[in-house]
Amino acid sequence: MYVNSSRFDIPSQPQHIIQRGNNRSIIFAGEEDYQFYLKKLGDVCQKFQCDLHAYVLMTNHVHLLITPHLKGGIGISYQDINGVRLDRSVFVAF
């Protein structure tokens, strides 16, 4: 996983996160994929103390407005989501 070292990591500061599929490929093939992602997102936000204020799930990318309460909270949340999501073949390109 590529980590952007220039990313601001400020606890308690809302952040707009955009994540795209590789080469802008489709990451959500059907309704069950959206539901799976939202469940995992909710789980990791709770686990790593991030407040999810808003989200937009498009077929090939995601927009999130998240406030982390731990330093590194967003990064470790996404590492957790990506690790789980790689178990499902539809998400390999994510």
Q: Would you state the pLDDT for residue 82?
A: 72
Q: Would you state the pLDDT for residue 85?
A: 44
Mind listing the domains of the chain with CATH numbers? 15-87 (3.30.70.1290)
Q: Would you state the pLDDT for residue 5?
A: 53
Helix or strand run (H / E) with residue 80: helix 73-85
Q: Chain-centre distance of CA 24, in angstroms?
A: 15
Res. 10: pLDDT tops 70: yes
Name the β-bridge partners of 93: none
pLDDT digits (tens, 9 = 90+) for 23-78: 889 999 999 999 999 999 999 999 999 999 999 999 999 999 999 998 888 888 87
Write out the two tokens for 36: 């799976």
How long, in residues, is the chain?
A: 94
Q: Would you state the pLDDT for residue 32?
A: 95
